[in-house]
Amino acid sequence: MSPKPRSRFTLRRKFLLGFVVLLLGAIAWLHFTGAAGTSGIASQDMDWDGDGAVTRHEVLQSLYAVVVEKTTQGQRECRAYTWRRDGGTIRVDCRTTPASAADTKKDAGK
């Protein structure tokens, strides 16, 4: 009887690989559903209750309770932060971006 071949991955590595795959899947799902925490917002801007201080609870809310909707109208880009449960608006951040050189040339040709 031949000896049993050893597995390429140990049990510990299999669990670690499974954990990493689950973690990446959760992050992808949060990004797909529009969670504010995965949209690039800085942690100092996560003051959802407007009291001037960002707590750990508010940072966690950015992952499960707050969603962001991005809209673009010409050079104006807006991000509307809303509660996931009832759709109530928390705040809207808008900024105007300068036109790129390609857009300027395209508009000049019209």
Check residue 18 and give its pLDDT: 96
Check residue 13 and give its pLDDT: 93
- How many Cα atoms within 13 Å fall on the side-chain side of residue 46? 24
Euclidean distance between CA atoms 3 and 6, whole angstroms: 9
Check residue 39 and give its pLDDT: 87
Whether 82 contacts 71, CB under 8 Å:
no
Query: In the chain, which stretches have pLDDT less than 70?
Result: 1-2, 100-110
Check residue 105 and give its pLDDT: 54
The candidate with the shortest Cα–Cα distance to 48, out of 32, 63, 69, is 63
Check residue 45 and give its pLDDT: 87
Q: Which residue is associated with the tokens 């508009």? A: 107
Q: DSSP alpha helices (H): ranges in 1-110?
A: 11-32, 56-64, 101-108
Check residue 20 and give its pLDDT: 98
